[in-house]
Amino acid sequence: MTDAAPLKALLSEDEIPTHWYNIVADLPSPPPPHLHPGTREPLTPEDLAPLFPPGMIEQELSTERWIEIPEEVRDIYRLWRPSPFHRALRLEQALGTTARIYYKYEGASPVGSHKTNSAVPQAYFNKLAGRTRLTTETGAGQWGSALAFASQIYGLTCDIWQVRSSFESKPYRHALMETFGATCYPSPSDITEAGRALRERFPDTTGSLGMAISEAVEAAGKDPDASYSLGSVLNHVALHQTVIGQEVLKQLPMLGESQIDYLFACAGGGSNLAGISFPIIRENLAGRQSTKIVACEPQAAPSLTQGEYRYDFGDTEGTTPLLKMYTLGADFVPDPVHAGGLRYHAMAPLVSFCKHEGLMDAVAIGQREAFEAGVLFARAEGIVPASESNHAIAGAFRQARQATAEGSSPVIVIGVSGSGQLDLPAYTEYLSGQMSDG
Amino acid sequence: MTDAAPLKALLSEDEIPTHWYNIVADLPSPPPPHLHPGTREPLTPEDLAPLFPPGMIEQELSTERWIEIPEEVRDIYRLWRPSPFHRALRLEQALGTTARIYYKYEGASPVGSHKTNSAVPQAYFNKLAGRTRLTTETGAGQWGSALAFASQIYGLTCDIWQVRSSFESKPYRHALMETFGATCYPSPSDITEAGRALRERFPDTTGSLGMAISEAVEAAGKDPDASYSLGSVLNHVALHQTVIGQEVLKQLPMLGESQIDYLFACAGGGSNLAGISFPIIRENLAGRQSTKIVACEPQAAPSLTQGEYRYDFGDTEGTTPLLKMYTLGADFVPDPVHAGGLRYHAMAPLVSFCKHEGLMDAVAIGQREAFEAGVLFARAEGIVPASESNHAIAGAFRQARQATAEGSSPVIVIGVSGSGQLDLPAYTEYLSGQMSDG
């Protein structure tokens, strides 16, 4: 077991990236623009003004390679960043693999996931624009709790509509939102017109992300001091997450490696995958790395592996701009798998474009395989991964087993996007043999 | 907000302490020995042999100042140690205090608390002695999940009896034990004689720590390959936890400080308090620090502030050795406050002796004051503290407010023993105004 080399690469706070990386500047061709749903013309800054503050609109449409991270945002990142990068030596031994496995862990953030990387700048730029209130929707609650945390940092009111079934079955998550000072409503609620109408039409509904979006958008639209905020899919969210991959590139040589052969990250809306992979795609394009990047999506929502690449809406109600994405259709409702963060009908436009251009691959993973991998990971490394992250771990295990069979020793990096402490009932379900394969 | 100095002091893995610190070697006089409950003579190694493996007995009775940490244990510590030491700059601003506040955070361990610091060596020394199975009791589940993790590291079977009311109300904790491969029984169970007898006498009982101890001790006693394992109170447990305080002393100058004026740590059985304070008491005794150490105990179990200093049993059934402790009486049952880890009728003999000798002070904190402090801490620092840790934070707040009133700027260090992610329902209860003051 003893190994002279350290297991963890720790960076100091002054090594937190100073800029977010915008992959648009380096893509072989410009990605297809977002379209206005009425005119089908490319979206203008003015089109986005009712929804987002100027800082976010600028970032959403930017083609600049590097966008400076405001000092006020880096100052909050310092509470938990840089995040650690680990050699998974005990995991390698448990697998009996010849591969060398590393993981980047985002679970030590205030809410236990990467989501705060984007929630903090979104709250900051809203504050800068004079907004006093943010509204959003959340499913399992990772994004909602991140925005709750970020809102109270900048003194903003935060109202969150959480899918009713999750609100009721995951009380720890809305307790976290409330601890950070947000108000969390089970959706559909009776405090919006959309919510009341939905409750009348579907009295027994357990809610859906589409319904919750409708409520959060309506609430922001009726309040000139409020903005609506989104935790994935859009370009500016992917941008914020690139602190993850930039840190990985600094940490890799600290553990004695220079090349990443394979990178596995889970993908729902795509923000975590974009965050860890885009800085590495930049290295690939410049010939400094030749990393095979593999998006690990759930079998229950296999947009990259089974979807069509076309313009579609981001929500089920058809109210958002049209985005060019791999999509299963805006009305596709994934099975209720535990990885709530991966239950999305489509994939972020920038991730979709990268996949379409051959800059990354994708696999779909069933949730039993994901949790089998998660349990093995927890027992070896002492970290219980988030349900979502288990998909990336399972993808990496497939590769590690292949390497062992071939007798090769590739460097495999896993993006572990979050902690599974609040997903523990799903582990019980898996261990008792009652989990469906989703 | 921006401050040039870093907020976190991070040590590298080769700075994990190489030895545990045994305060017995430095105390002004020898602490009173444990006594055999029958003969009332000082306990011999032979008396302890049926309960513990040789390594633990040696440590329990040792007077050596430094006890080497086996390489196999440090190797597991490397998964999460050294733990971070933070400047709480945002918390200071939220309090508007003139004090400088720091905290040592043990919540990033595999189970979210300091308990793994002792669970890992206990499992290791049992493995070394050829034991294949460990049994223990747990209340809220912090200790049980730590021993579950440590047992699977060394390939030991782990059977845990959890107080039935906690087993039922805290499903996330036993899910964690099961994820780490342990078996967790609600106590009283029907698989021990003690459990069956208790169920017959008290058919509707929700269980107690005393009952769970009886079951775990019986199960170990009937199996020659098993040992019983304890998460607090005894000398060897306090010893293992001294990695915490040793790291603090290395980290303090990294953030530009040389003196700690006040140290606050929560105290139930005493292991977390001992771990962070004993290395600092050593500095006090040598004249290198003049730190006022304050044990923060719950109003519901105020052993140090209201108990008697006398010999008493460690369990409610009167089966353990007699220990010289501050005690409320072995039959004292604390109110069911949320800080389950602090609900103990007495205090570790070494901590009690330090208090009796004037080497530390103590305060009792009500749980509403504790949670008020915890919410403020979470919102400022982005870490939701464990229910137990909130007592230390509240104690520190009293001191910080006094400093502000006096216009002084003392250095205050808080031991944040764990994460409150699995205590979130208690936060909801506090925020909704429904928490009793306990």
Asked if residue B312 lies in contact with residue B281, where contact means CB atoms within 8 angstroms, the answer is: no
Asked if residue B247 lies in contact with residue B106, where contact means CB atoms within 8 angstroms, the answer is: no
Asked if residue B339 lies in contact with residue B391, where contact means CB atoms within 8 angstroms, the answer is: yes
> How many Å apart are CA A107 and CA A383, to the nearest integer?
9
User: B110 — phi, psi (to 5°)?
Assistant: -55, -30
**Distances from the Cα of A164 to the Cαs of A148, A161, A195, B365, in angstroms?**
18, 8, 11, 37
Residues of chain A positioned with their CB less than 8 A from the CB of B381: 79
Binding-face residues of B in 22-51 toward A, CB within 8 A = none
Residue B393 has pLDDT above 50, yes or no: yes
Residue A1 has pLDDT above 50, yes or no: no
- Contact at CB, A431 and B14, closer than 8 angstroms: no
Q: What's the pLDDT at A333?
A: 77
Q: CA nearest B438: which of B301, B269, B294, B296?
A: B301
Burial tier of B96 (Cβ tally within 10 Å: 0-12, 13-18, 19+)? exposed
Could you give the angle at the alpha carbon of B206 between the alpha carbons of B202 and B212, nearest 5°? Answer: 90
Asked if residue A324 lies in contact with residue A365, where contact means CB atoms within 8 angstroms, the answer is: no
Average pLDDT over residues A184-200: 93
Tell me the pTM: 0.96
Residues of chain B positioned with their CB less than 8 A from the CB of A76: 382
* Test the B interface: residue of A89, A172, A416 with most B CBs within 10 Å: A172
Q: What's the pLDDT at B1?
A: 40
Lowest mean pLDDT among A29-33, A168-172, B191-195, B221-225: A168-172
Residue B380 tokens read as 């400022």
- Contact at CB, B80 and A382, closer than 8 angstroms: yes
Residue, of A333 and B269, whose pLDDT is higher:
B269
Residue, of A239 and B212, whose pLDDT is higher:
A239
Hey, what amino acid is at B267?
A: A
CA-based nearest distance B368→chain A, Å: 14
Predicted complex ipTM exceeds 0.90: yes
Give the β-pairing of A308-313 and A322-327: antiparallel
Per-residue exposure over A143-152, b if at least 16 CB sit within 10 Å of its own CB, e if not: bbbbbbbbbb
Residue B50's H or E segment, with its range, is none
- Nearest Cα residue in chain B from A172: B424
Hey, what amino acid is at A361?
A: D
Could you give the angle at the alpha carbon of B112 between the alpha carbons of B71 and B108, nearest 5°? Answer: 65
Whether residue A188 has a cis bond before it, omega within 30° of 0: yes
User: B30 — phi, psi (to 5°)?
Assistant: -65, 135
DSSP state at residue B437: -
Q: CA nearest B236: which of B53, B80, B108, B416?
A: B53
Cα distance between the two ends of chain A = 36
DSSP state at residue A104: E
CA-based nearest distance A87→chain B, Å: 10
Nearest to A13 among B6, B71, B152 (CB): B6
Residue A190's H or E segment, with its range, is none
Residue A211 has pLDDT above 60, yes or no: yes
Bridge partner residues of A137 (DSSP)? A161
CA-based nearest distance A48→chain B, Å: 31
Q: What's the pLDDT at B375?
A: 98
> What is the band of A262 on the pLDDT scale with cuts at 50, 70, 90?
very high
Q: What's the pLDDT at B82?
A: 97
Residue A152 tokens read as 């109270």
Nearest to B425 among A110, A175, A180 (CB): A175
pLDDT tens figures, A115-161:
999 999 999 999 999 999 999 999 889 999 999 999 999 999 999 99
> How many Å apart are CA A379 and CA A375, to the nearest integer?
6
Q: What's the pLDDT at B3?
A: 47
CA-based nearest distance B420→chain A, Å: 10
Residue B210 has pLDDT above 90, yes or no: no
**Distances from the Cα of B86 to the Cαs of B97, B159, B386, B414, in angstroms?**
17, 36, 17, 10
- Contact at CB, B1 and A175, closer than 8 angstroms: no
pLDDT tens figures, B301-331:
999 999 999 999 987 767 789 999 999 998 8
Length of chain B: 438
Residues of chain B positioned with their CB less than 8 A from the CB of A385: none
HEC string of B280-329 equals HHHHHHCCCCCCEEEEEEECCCCHHHHCEEEEEECCCCCCCCEEEEEECC
User: A175 — contact with chain B (CB < 8 Å)?
Assistant: yes
Q: What's the pLDDT at B2?
A: 44
Dihedral of CA B194/B196/B197/B203: which sign?
positive
Nearest to B179 among A7, A80, A378 (CB): A378
Residue A107 tokens read as 């679970």
Q: What's the pLDDT at A4?
A: 60
Nearest to A179 among B171, B181, B375 (CB): B375
Tell me what the pLDDT averaged over chain B comes to: 94
Average pLDDT over residues A407-429: 96
> How many Å apart are CA A7 and CA B35, to the nearest integer?
44
> How many Å apart are CA A30 and CA A25, to the nearest integer?
8
Compute the 3-state secondary structure of chain B and give helix, strand, coil in percent, each to the nearest 5: 45, 20, 40
Asked if residue A299 lies in contact with residue A366, where contact means CB atoms within 8 angstroms, the answer is: yes
User: B10 — contact with chain A (CB < 8 Å)?
Assistant: yes
Tell me what the pLDDT averaged over chain A comes to: 94
User: A14 — contact with chain B (CB < 8 Å)?
Assistant: yes
Nearest to B112 among A78, A378, A421 (CB): A421
Average pLDDT over residues A77-88: 97
Classified as helix, coil or strand, A65 is coil
Give the rounded percent of residues in chain B with a pLDDT score beyond 90.
Answer: 84
Q: What's the pLDDT at A428?
A: 93
User: A254 — contact with chain B (CB < 8 Å)?
Assistant: no
Q: CA nearest A212: which of A237, A247, A252, A184?
A: A184
Average pLDDT over residues B71-83: 97
CA-based nearest distance B9→chain A, Å: 9
Asked if residue A177 lies in contact with residue A160, where contact means CB atoms within 8 angstroms, the answer is: yes
User: A412 — phi, psi (to 5°)?
Assistant: -115, 125
Residues of chain B positioned with their CB less than 8 A from the CB of A152: 379
Nearest to B427 among A179, A382, A419 (CB): A179
pLDDT tens figures, A284-308:
999 999 999 999 999 999 999 999 9
Number of CB atoms found within 10 A of residue A186's CB: 18
Classified as helix, coil or strand, A419 is strand
Binding-face residues of B in 354-383 toward A, CB within 8 A = 375, 378-379, 381-383
* Test the A interface: residue of B7, B145, B381, B384 with most A CBs within 10 Å: B384
pLDDT tens figures, B215-273:
998 899 899 999 999 999 999 999 999 999 999 999 999 999 999 999 999 999 999 99
Residues of chain A positioned with their CB less than 8 A from the CB of B93: none
- Contact at CB, B421 and A425, closer than 8 angstroms: no
Burial tier of B268 (Cβ tally within 10 Å: 0-12, 13-18, 19+)? buried
Asked if residue B101 lies in contact with residue B194, where contact means CB atoms within 8 angstroms, the answer is: no
Dihedral of CA B356/B338/B368/A423: which sign?
positive
Average pLDDT over residues A237-245: 98
Binding-face residues of A in 106-135 toward B, CB within 8 A = 108-110, 112, 116
CA-based nearest distance A275→chain B, Å: 21
Per-residue exposure over A29-66, b if at least 16 CB sit within 10 Å of its own CB, e if not: eebbbbbeeeeeeebeeebbeebbbebbbbbbbbeeee
- Contact at CB, B2 and A72, closer than 8 angstroms: yes
Residue B250's H or E segment, with its range, is helix B243-251
DSSP state at residue B111: T
User: B181 — contact with chain A (CB < 8 Å)?
Assistant: yes
Q: What's the pLDDT at A124?
A: 98
